[in-house]
A = this chain, B = another copy of it.
Amino acid sequence: MVNKLQMEIKQSKKFESLEHEAFLNLQRTTDFLMRKVTDALKPFGITPPQYNVLRILRGAGESGLINREIGERMLTFVPDVTRMLDRLEKRDLVCRERGVEDRRLVTACITEEGLNLLSDLDQVFSDLNKELLGVCNKRTLTELIGTLERLRGA
């Protein structure tokens, strides 16, 4: 009996351990799903991390957030928030302002144009999300979430 992942990566030997098999499946599945999302966002000229930033800034509202806070809220670690915001600013999707009280801080806000783009992206993302993850029922997804949270440390 050869399982699905073994077939996919044309591996003849068994996995070393269940832990190993689980981890490889995690990598491959996330890569698979992210690739779909990346493709779906591409017509809008937006990458998944950029989409993530825009959503974070929308959530923050008019008061905005400073670079460090944006980095902390990202789903995946991003080492260079500055240049990421540079690109978004150049496209007028966000605006930035140097702090007056503490001149080290730079606060970023989403623009009207950014909000408009987001409302399109949300629809695309939401549809894709339900299409991709909808193959599992609610109970399975709930269990999946629990397992994943556990893997990040309970």
Chain A residues close to B by CB (< 8 Å):
3-5, 8-13, 16-35, 59, 69, 72-77, 126, 129-130, 132-136, 138, 140-145, 147-154
Contact = CB atoms under 8 A, between A and B. Distances in A.
A76 B28 CA distance: 6
Contacts of A138: 18
Contact of A25 (B13, B25, B29, B144): B144
Where chain A touches its partner, the secondary structure class is: helix
A144 B19 CA distance: 10
Copies of this protein in the assembly total: 2
B136 A31 contact: no
A153 B72 CA distance: 33
Contacts of A129: 17, 19-20, 23
B132 A23 contact: yes
Contacts of A12: 59
